[in-house]
């Protein structure tokens, strides 16, 4: 399996993306000898447990309790507080093996299990610490898979986010908006890319950005970051191709001008 398997997700309408399947295939790129099928089977097993226990669950609060009981209780999934920055925490295969992960990776497991049994489940746009929403409307609940599936009220969410993002955080209604499947996958991958670059491994960071642009080709900013890495690694022709792709996706006049100026500079560098 290669990047071409991932590229097909980039051509799908967002609701058609199977979030867990995409995350598994992305994880499989770093585990080429591991049969992804056994992890699909595991996710089916989790969904089966949720279905059995949640057969008579009424409302979002009861559904969240079932998810917590199965994923945190029966299967032991929790946040990795001891080695938070370990890249394995953002790889779904490793997360399943270790039963530990980052908030966004664990959230994908919760969302996948909920959706498999027909429940409404979304990742939400909280900064710094990924949370999920179970249910719709006023009866929806916020859940924190990193904290063993704890259900949070509005005050809990604000305290949590200020603890991880700083006291200057201003809670915005946009923080509670649902994210697209693509945005969740990008956020998952960005954790790996950021840690790779922080560790000085720009080659690895570029590989992950290639995966991000494959999954979300219309996310213009991803092409800019990919082109930046390509330039830093001396791959100027590749950087030009990335910027040209970005030019096709952006509608902002100032951004387009900035891209054209950079393309002109790169052309001079190559020549």
The model's pLDDT over 132-165, given as tens digits with 9 standing for 90+, comes to 999 998 899 999 999 999 999 888 888 888 887 6
How many residues are listed for the chain in this entry?
Answer: 271
Tens digit of pLDDT for each residue in 208-257? 999 999 999 999 899 999 999 999 999 999 999 998 888 888 888 888 88
Whole-number pLDDT of residue 176: 81
pLDDT category, 52, cuts 50, 70, 90? very high
Q: What is the mean pLDDT of residues 111-134?
A: 94
CA atoms within 13 A on the CB side of 43: 26
Query: What is the spatial distance between Cα 124 and Cα 209, in angstroms, rounded to a whole number?
Result: 22
Whole-number pLDDT of residue 173: 73
Please tell me whether the overall predicted TM-score, pTM, comes out greater than 0.75 for this model. Answer: yes
With a pLDDT cut of 90, the percent of the chain lying above it is 73
What average pLDDT does the structure give for the chain? 92
Query: What is the spatial distance between Cα 214 and Cα 196, in angstroms, rounded to a whole number?
Result: 19
DSSP string computed for 47-101: HHHHHHHTTT--HHHHHHHHHIIIIIIIS--EE--SSTT-GGGG-HHHHHHHTEE
With a pLDDT cut of 70, the percent of the chain lying above it is 96
Beta-ladder partners of 121: 134
Whole-number pLDDT of residue 4: 82
The values of phi and psi at residue 235, to 5°, are -100, 75
In this model, does residue 186 exceed pLDDT 90? Answer: yes
Tens digit of pLDDT for each residue in 10-39? 999 999 999 999 999 999 999 999 999 999
In this model, does residue 267 exceed pLDDT 80? Answer: no
């Amino acid at each position: 399996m290669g990047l071409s398997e991932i590229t097909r997700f980039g051509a799908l309408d967002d609701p058609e993306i199977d979030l867990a399947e995409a995350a598994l295939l992305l994880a499989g790129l770093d585990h080429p000898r591991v049969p992804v099928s056994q992890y699909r089977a595991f996710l089916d097993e989790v969904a089966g447990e949720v279905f059995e226990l949640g057969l008579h669950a009424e409302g979002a609060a009861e559904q969240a309790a079932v998810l917590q009981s199965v994923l945190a209780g029966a299967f032991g999934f929790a946040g990795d507080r001891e080695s938070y920055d370990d890249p394995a925490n953002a790889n779904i295969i490793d997360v399943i093996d270790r039963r530990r992960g980052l908030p966004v990776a664990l959230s994908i497991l919760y969302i996948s299990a909920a959706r498999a049994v027909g429940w409404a489940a979304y990742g939400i746009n909280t900064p710094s610490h990924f949370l999920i929403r179970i249910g719709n409307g006023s009866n929806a609940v916020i859940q924190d898979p990193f904290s063993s599936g704890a259900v949070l009220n509005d005050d809990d969410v604000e305290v949590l986010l200020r603890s991880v993002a700083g006291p200057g955080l201003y809670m915005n209604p946009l923080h509670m908006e649902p994210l697209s499947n693509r945005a969740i996958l990008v956020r998952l991958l960005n954790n790996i890319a950021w840690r790779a670059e922080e560790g000085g491994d720009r080659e690895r960071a570029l590989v992950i950005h290639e995966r991000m642009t494959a999954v979300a080709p219309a996310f213009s900013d991803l092409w800019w970051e990919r082109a930046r890495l390509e330039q830093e690694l001396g791959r100027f022709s590749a950087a030009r191709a990335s910027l040209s792709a970005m030019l096709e996706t952006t509608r902002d006049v100032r951004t387009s001008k900035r891209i054209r100026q950079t393309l002109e500079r790169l052309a001079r560098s190559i020549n």
